[in-house]
C-alpha cells in the first residue's frame, strides 16, 4: 500500500508504518494544486485539518481506497462523495480529547481573568492594575453545547473547579456525570460561559447567530475549540461591540488560515490558530492511531 502523508504526524508513526512494509511519502507542505497532480498514485492519504479533500481531489484519486483524518472532525473531507467513490474515511476521535479539553479550560480561565490583555499592556510599559479586574469561575454556570468525548472531558474538569455545568446534545439523553442535561433554550438562558464542542454540519452552521446571541445573558463569555463556522463571526463582533458578549476565545474560524481579522481588533477577543490538538502527547497518540488504522487496512488488503 502506498500512503501520502499530507499533514504532519509523528515521526514514530511513520517509522512504524514503514517497518510494516507500507510505502510512505511525506509531503506535509503539499499545496492543493500539487495534491491534484500527485494523489492519483496513492492507495491512502493522511490529513489533519489543513488539507481539504473535496470532489476534485477525489476525482483525481483514481487508486485511493482510504483517507485517514488525524483528529476528530471530518468536515474538511467530502465524506458522502468519498463513500460514493468507494473510499473509506477513518479518523482518530479519542486521541486529542485531553488536549482540546485542557485548552478549553485554559480559555475559561483567560476569559475570567484577562491574562492576555494584561500581558499586552505590560509589554507596552503600562501598569493598569484597576483595568484588569476579573471574575471567578467558582459558582458560575458553564453551558456545554455538544456532549461527545471532549464535551464530557470539559464537564468533568469544570465541575472540579466548582462550576455548575449544563449540557446540551441532540444525540444525548439521560443522566450524565458531573452535569445536568437541559434543552438548548434553557442552557442559553442560564449560562455565564458557553463552550462549543459540536461538528460543523448544515444544522450547526451559524448555530450561534445574532438571534441566539441575543437570548444569552448579557456579559456571556464564549469559547469555541470545536469548529469554525458554528458561530456567525459577524454577529459575534456586533454582540461584543454592543456589550452583549463580554469576551470570546476562539481556536477555530470559518475560514482558515484566518484572513478577516476584524474580531481581533477587539480587546475582548483572544485566540489561537487551531491548536487544540497541538500538544506533544496528542500528536503522538494521533500518529499511533493513524499508524494502527493503516496497518490494519494494509493487512486486510493482503488477506
pLDDT at 173: 56
Given the residues 113, 149, 205, 256, the one annotated as active site:
256
Model confidence pLDDT, tens digit, residues 89-131: 999 988 999 999 999 999 999 999 999 999 999 999 999 999 9
Q: Is residue 157 flagged as an active site residue? A: no
For the cut 90, the answer to whether the pLDDT of residue 299 exceeds it is no
Share of the chain above pLDDT 70, in %: 98
Ranking 110-114, 254-258, 270-274 by mean pLDDT, the lowest is 254-258
The conformation of residue 217, written as its DSSP 8-state character, comes to P
DSSP 109-142: HHHHS-HHHHHHHHHTT---GGGG----STTPEE
Rounded CA separation 209/224 (Å): 14
Q: What is the radius of gyration, based on Cα positions, of the chain? A: 21
Instruction: Tell me the three cell numbers of residue 266.
Output: 477587539
pLDDT recorded at residue 208: 98
Rounded-to-integer distance, Cα 38 and Cα 251, Å: 31
Residue with cell 491534484: 36
Per DSSP, the three-state class of 280 is: helix
Res. 302: pLDDT tops 90: no
Kindly tell me if the per-residue pLDDT of 301 is higher than 70: no
Q: Pick the catalytic residue: 227, 233, 254, 285? A: 227
Tens of pLDDT, residue by residue over 147-178, are 999 999 999 999 999 999 999 998 765 667 88
Q: pTM of the predicted model, to two decimals? A: 0.91
Domain boundaries, the chain: 2-92+280-302, 97-271
Catalytic site includes residue 98? no
| Fold: same for 2-92+280-302 and 97-271 | yes
**CATH entry, 2-92+280-302, from 3.20.20.10, 3.40.50.1000, 3.40.50.720, 1.10.8.50:** 3.40.50.720
Q: How many CA atoms lie within 13 A of 227 on its CB side?
A: 21
* pLDDT, position 209: 98
To the query of whether residue 256 is one of the catalytic residues in this protein, the response is yes
We find that the CATH architecture of domain 97-271 is 3-Layer(aba) Sandwich (3.40)
Predicted confidence at residue 244, as pLDDT, reads 98
Q: Of 69, 274, 285, 289, which residue is the catalytic one?
A: 274
pLDDT of residue 76: 92
Amino acid at each position: 500500500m502506498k500512503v501520502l502523508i499530507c499533514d504532519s504526524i509523528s515521526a514514530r508513526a511513520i517509522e512504524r508504518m514503514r517497518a510494516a512494509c507500507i510505502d510512505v511519502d511525506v509531503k506535509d507542505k503539499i499545496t492543493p494544486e500539487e495534491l491534484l497532480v500527485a494523489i492519483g498514485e496513492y492507495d491512502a492519504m493522511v490529513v489533519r485539518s489543513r488539507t481539504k479533500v473535496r470532489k476534485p481531489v477525489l476525482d483525481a484519486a483514481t487508486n485511493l481506497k482510504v483517507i485517514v483524518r488525524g483528529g476528530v472532525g471530518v468536515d474538511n473531507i467530502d465524506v458522502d462523495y468519498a463513500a460514493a467513490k468507494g473510499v473509506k474515511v477513518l479518523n482518530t476521535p479519542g486521541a486529542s480529547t485531553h488536549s482540546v479539553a485542557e485548552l478549553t479550560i485554559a480559555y475559561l480561565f483567560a476569559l475570567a481573568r484577562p491574562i492576555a490583555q494584561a500581558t499586552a499592556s505590560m509589554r507596552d510599559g503600562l501598569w493598569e492594575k484597576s483595568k484588569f479586574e476579573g471574575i471567578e469561575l467558582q459558582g458560575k454556570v458553564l453551558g456545554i453545547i455538544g456532549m461527545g468525548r471532549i464535551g464530557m472531558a470539559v464537564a468533568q474538569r469544570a465541575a472540579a473547579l466548582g462550576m455548575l455545568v449544563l449540557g446540551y446534545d441532540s444525540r444525548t439523553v439521560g443522566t450524565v456525570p458531573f452535569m445536568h442535561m437541559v434543552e438548548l433554550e434553557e442552557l442559553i438562558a442560564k449560562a455565564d460561559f458557553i463552550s462549543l464542542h459540536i461538528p460543523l454540519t448544515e444544522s450547526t452552521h451559524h448555530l450561534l447567530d445574532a438571534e441566539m446571541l441575543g437570548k444569552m445573558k448579557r456579559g456571556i463569555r464564549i469559547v469555541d475549540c470545536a469548529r469554525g463556522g458554528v458561530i456567525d463571526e459577524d454577529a459575534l463582533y456586533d454582540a461584543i461591540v454592543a456589550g452583549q458578549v463580554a469576551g470570546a476565545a476562539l481556536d477555530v474560524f470559518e475560514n482558515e488560515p484566518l484572513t478577516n481579522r476584524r474580531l481581533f481588533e477587539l480587546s475582548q477577543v483572544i485566540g489561537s490558530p487551531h491548536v487544540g490538538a497541538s500538544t506533544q502527547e496528542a500528536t503522538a497518540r494521533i500518529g499511533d492511531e493513524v499508524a494502527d488504522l493503516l496497518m490494519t487496512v494494509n493487512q486486510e488488503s493482503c488477506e
